[in-house]
Structure 1
């Protein structure tokens, strides 16, 4: 049995070491190496793998956040399993809460890596008898808009989000994070901030930065250069200051 896997780490040396260990292990097949969890997620939306060797502390999207995104769709007879690689042992409990297969504390040697890889092989040998039948996924637009809600494509499903629940939306390259009042965990969707800006009602939402759209009724306070939504301060960039200044004038 050969297990398909990818490595994700924002540190080039650590990423190179894990990839070298994977290539050294006969029953592992390296399908990709990624320096960010966002890049890895884009790959995983198109292709499944058996094992992800995943760093935890990374910019934009952490390893734990990626694990939680994958956890919702990680079903079937051959689910993807995660082996966390990190320099911080305080994340061990969080790792096992998202059902990580193992946890490698940096710096680790090949013997320790092989032990975790062997655990993965033993797991798949126990649970896998035949390859799963591919499940057809119906095509869906990334965003569907209603009168007081939107349907946002999250992983492999459409999630209904009430406008009144949205606090703000953060853009990350080809992805967005939607922060809501009802849940401390943001929703991650493969769409652009521009797409949402064009579809969301202007009377309720405003783009204030190339990376942020805010819900106007959720703003607690404003300055000339920022808005405050709960504990979060969101900058207002020069590109959007004229429109934002017009908005501020209504507060005065």
Structure 2
């Protein structure tokens, strides 16, 4: 079985500007892969090329085994795309909207089962214009998965969500992955990438500058720990690769340590280092 996405030397040039500069990427089938990067890094351009919506200047790209630049309608029916902003038929109900989009596919899922899957059964008869932002986003996902896609593109799926709505949406995405759907996620929320992604890649200046699991990205797992504690002489900070040893030595003889904490670099710390914006 081919990988879901295989990219080698991907390049996209505009007059006076290189948006994507020799990017390499591989995504396994069935995994959640997150693309991270600042605005202007090349994320959106890369995703649009993979979706077949933008031509590349150079390089090789295969998505579900086909070149997105030349693949046809049958290939497109194997994709689900959830854009960051989407226009909808606001006057239609949730059920009517999903049924309408189901007609675009030869073998769609049952519309009402999809409505249930995205947690909108109680809103099935409600007009889309009356839904909350989080509920509308669930409609977007319903439309993205109605055609039984093998690969779903999620572009900044929870922008503008309150914390509760984001957590609910994360649960929906996790449910999709249990069914073997491959998901390519772009997000500015690092906690979202850490909660959902099997692997992440950081793009800066049109190139992948680091790739790995959220726990190991940029050497995070092996980075020095910071041990902080307080005693009669004040607050102390020590950076070490062996925090357990330090704590054992400090607490020898039953010595009590106030305010003891052990921390390693967060995903945000590593990300800011990789894109060159760490203060």
**After TM superposition, is the score higher than 0.5?**
no
Structure with higher Rg: it is 2
Please give the TM-score of this superposition, normalised by the length of structure 2. Answer: 0.27
Please give the TM-score of this superposition, normalised by the length of structure 1. Answer: 0.29
* Larger RCO of the pair (alpha carbons < 8 Å, separation 6+): 2
